[in-house]
Amino acid sequence: VTGASFVVFNGALKTSSGFLAKCSIVEDGLMVQITPETMESLRQALRDKKDFKITCGKTDTGDIKEYVDICWVENEEKTNKG
């Protein structure tokens, strides 16, 4: 689990790169490089307020992968107020 101040989703990852998606820590945030198709699916999930999971790693390995989970939670107005 990684805590981050911000998340950047970059939808320019080429399918020919051999990666499903790439995740890296940038300063105090997280950058997730995804394919244009995954970006469109992510946008639709955000519009529909649905959870979304991005699997990171090489396409041809069966190793344990990293995941970026986008989860909707109950309203927490008391948290981070002000």
pLDDT, one tens digit per residue, over 12-39 is 999 889 899 999 988 889 999 999 999 9
- Rounded-to-integer distance, Cα 12 and Cα 31, Å: 12
Provide, rounded to the nearest whole percent, the portion of the chain with pLDDT above 70.
Answer: 84
pLDDT, one tens digit per residue, over 39-60 is 999 999 999 999 999 999 888 8
CATH topology of domain 6-70: Gyrase A; domain 2 (3.30.1360)
Query: 33: helix, coil or strand?
Result: strand
- Rounded-to-integer distance, Cα 73 and Cα 10, Å: 24
Asked whether the beta carbons of 29 and 50 are under 8 A apart, the reply is no
- Give the pLDDT of residue 76: 63
Q: Where are the domains of the chain?
A: 6-70
Mean pLDDT of the chain: 86
Give how far Cα 60 sits from Cα of 21, 39, 56, Å.
Answer: 12, 21, 12
